[in-house]
């Protein structure tokens, strides 16, 4: 027995018909029961190398890090996002989310800025090697949440969870897929996700992309970390009232470079005096709030169809949108 998002929701008709505000509230209540927080934790072995005996990238394959490193630690990194349940049978559940939520690099390397050899290569300061990654979906007891299909270019991934028959199962997404290309400028959208791990709804206005073939559209939602993977729906006053038109993906940002004190050479300083110690360059992302991207429903459909064989091999499907 399979379950996919193909049934139109039946919003109640209390004493005749609901007004628009009541209908929107009921639809969002239904939506809130069918989105899930996804938590991804990656564990890394981190080795710190001495700048006094420089090591360069092309030398890594020739050495044993445990013997070369001056320090070793195990750290973890955590990412929160939102998952949309689109499939369920007695043993398996399937979810859509953003690829960047479940993608961690196998290796991360940092360098000494001032330790450069004659070829212009920087000496390695530290190297982090991924040990393992664990994926969790909130409120469900299923084990072995795995990524069974992924498209990094369009920032979308399909997750599979094994579920025992007696365990809680996901509430399937309640709204029919629509077409974002059919939306008009300024149509109101609703997005429900988990910013900072807290379930929250926000709204936005739709902006048409320059081409109907464009995989993303713009909206003026003010999104924070954790909204990635959140469903984007549109309301109209004709049954079935709500349509699923996209998935929140990213926000606009700009690279920012700034100077900060370098405490690697000077541990403390008097905050009441002008700082005159060593400085270093830091880089950060400056978020342009109110400029957000949603993956279109058309691209979500293409992703599912392009990966239907991989999904079937993992016991998922058919999902026929």
Strands (E), the chain: 36-48, 71-88, 92-97, 107-116, 122-137, 143-151, 156-162, 188-193, 200-207, 216-219, 231-235, 242-261, 279-296
Residues whose CB falls within 8 Å of the CB of residue 283, separated by 6 or more in sequence, listed in order:
255, 256, 257
The three-state secondary structure class of 288 is strand
Enter the tokens of residue 26: 């009921």
Cβ-contact 80, 152 below 8 angstroms? no
Longest dimension (CA), the chain: 81
Phi, psi for 247 (deg, rounded to 5): -140, 125
The Cα angle at residue 170 between residues 164 and 176, in degrees rounded to 5: 140
Tokens of 209: 């992309």
Q: Give the separation between CA 89 and CA 250, rounded to whole angstroms.
A: 31
Under a CB-based contact definition with an 8 Å cutoff, are residues 17 and 36 in contact? no
Which residues, 6+ apart, have CB-to-CB distance to 300 below 8 Å?
A: 96, 156, 177, 246, 247
pLDDT string in tens for the chain (321-residue length): 445 444 445 555 554 567 889 999 999 999 999 999 999 999 999 999 988 888 888 888 777 888 889 999 999 999 999 999 999 988 899 999 999 999 999 999 998 877 677 677 888 999 999 999 999 999 887 767 999 999 999 999 999 999 888 888 899 999 999 999 999 999 999 999 999 999 999 999 999 887 766 899 999 998 999 999 999 999 988 888 999 999 999 887 667 788 877 766 655 677 777 877 778 777 777 667 789 999 999 999 999 999 999 999 999 988 987
- In 3D space, the residue among 301, 227, 306 whose CA is nearest the CA of residue 4 turns out to be 301
Report the alpha-carbon distance of residue 123 to residue 128 in Å, rounded. Answer: 15
The predicted pLDDT at position 253 comes to 65
Peptide bond into 132 cis (omega under 30): no
Q: How many Å apart are CA 254 and CA 301, to the nearest integer?
A: 30
Residues paired with residue 135 on neighbouring β-strands, in sequence order = 40
* C-alpha to C-alpha distance for 298 and 73, rounded to whole angstroms: 44
Asked if 96 contacts 320 with a C-beta cutoff of 8 angstroms, the reply is no
What pLDDT score does 6 carry? 42
HSE at residue 60, side-chain half, CA atoms within 13 A, is: 16
pTM here is 0.85
Which SS3 state, helix, strand or coil, does residue 312 take? Answer: helix
Per domain, the residue ranges of the chain are 20-313
Neighbouring C-alpha atoms within 13 Å toward the C-beta of 230: 34
Q: What is the pLDDT of residue 191?
A: 98
- DSSP 8-state code for residue 254: E
Q: Which CATH number fits domain 20-313: 3.40.1380.10, 2.40.10.120, 3.30.930.10, 2.40.50.140?
A: 2.40.10.120
């Amino acid at each position: 027995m399979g379950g996919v998002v193909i049934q139109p929701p039946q919003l109640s008709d209390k004493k005749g018909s609901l007004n628009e505000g009541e209908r929107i509230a009921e639809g969002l209540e239904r939506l809130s029961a069918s989105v899930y927080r996804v938590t991804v934790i990656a564990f890394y072995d981190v080795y710190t190398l001495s700048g006094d005996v420089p090591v360069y990238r092309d030398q890594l394959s020739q050495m044993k890090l445990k013997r070369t490193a001056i320090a070793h630690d195990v750290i973890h990194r955590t990412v929160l996002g939102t998952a949309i349940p689109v499939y369920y049978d007695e043993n398996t559940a399937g979810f859509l989310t953003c690829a960047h939520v479940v993608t961690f690099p196998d290796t991360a390397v940092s360098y000494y800025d001032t330790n450069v050899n004659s070829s212009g290569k920087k000496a390695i300061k530290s190297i982090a090697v991924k040990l393992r990654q664990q994926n969790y979906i909130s409120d469900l007891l299923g084990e072995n949440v795995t990524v069974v299909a992924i498209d990094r270019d369009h920032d979308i991934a399909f997750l599979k969870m094994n579920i025992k028959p007696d365990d809680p199962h996901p509430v399937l997404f309640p709204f029919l897929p629509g077409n974002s290309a059919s939306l008009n400028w300024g149509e109101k959208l609703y997005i429900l996700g988990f910013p900072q791990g807290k379930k929250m709804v926000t709204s936005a206005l739709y902006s048409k992309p320059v081409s109907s073939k464009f995989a993303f559209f713009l909206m003026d939602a003010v999104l924070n970390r954790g909204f990635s993977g959140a469903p984007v729906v549109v309301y109209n006053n004709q049954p079935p009232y709500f349509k699923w038109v996209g998935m929140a993906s990213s926000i606009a940002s700009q690279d920012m470079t700034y100077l900060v004190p370098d405490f690697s050479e000077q541990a403390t300083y008097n905050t009441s005096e002008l700082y005159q110690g060593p400085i270093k360059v830091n880089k950060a992302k400056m978020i342009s709030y109110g400029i957000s991207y949603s993956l279109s429903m058309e691209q979500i459909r293409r992703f599912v169809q392009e990966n239907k064989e991989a999904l079937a091999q993992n016991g998922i499907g058919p999902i026929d949108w």
